Amino acid sequence: MTAAVDDDLWSAVGDPTRRRMLDLLLADGGGTATSLSERLPVTRQAVAKHLGVLDRVGLVHAAPAGRERRYRVDEEQLARAVAQLSSVGAAWDARLRRIKLIAEAVQRERADQA
């Protein structure tokens, strides 16, 4: 049921470092590869690569400012990703609930027979 369409956006958000980057960018209202790397346990280059990935899927946008390259979160796109995320969660939740109901029904049936 869980389609494969999600996978590009999902996998972009799937990386822990990228999640923390998005978190920092949201908290500070933007940032550069260098500024982010100072608050993360990875080097600037690693951050830069991640920013490239996030840029490709449209979760962030770059704005050259002098010698800096300032990144900001595309909130609309992130909202879309979050929606997909919670929809997957909801699907599993529903399935788990259904399984539980069936299990309980079987239990009741057995109890009736005994």
Partner DNA sequence: TAGAACTCGCAACCAACGGTTGCGCATGCC
Partner DNA sequence: GGCATGCGCAACCGTTGGTTGCGAGTTCTA
Interface residues with a copy of itself (CB under 8 A) are 1-2, 4, 7, 10-11, 14, 16, 19-20, 22-23, 26-27, 29, 75, 78-79, 82, 85-86, 88-90, 92-93, 95-96, 99-100
Q: Which of DNA, a copy of itself, none sits in contact with 17, Cβ below 5 to 8 A by type?
A: DNA
Inter-residue contact 32 to 69 (CB < 8 Å): yes
Tokens representing 7 are 């996978």
Of all residues in the chain, what percent are helix, strand and coil, respectively (each to 5)? 70, 10, 20
Beta-carbon contacts of residue 34 (< 8 Å; ≥ 6 apart): 44
Q: Which of a copy of itself, DNA, none sits in contact with 10, Cβ below 5 to 8 A by type?
A: a copy of itself
Local structure of 1: helix, strand or coil: coil
- The footprint of DNA (CB under 7 A) covers 15, 17, 32-34, 41-46, 48-50, 53, 62, 66-69
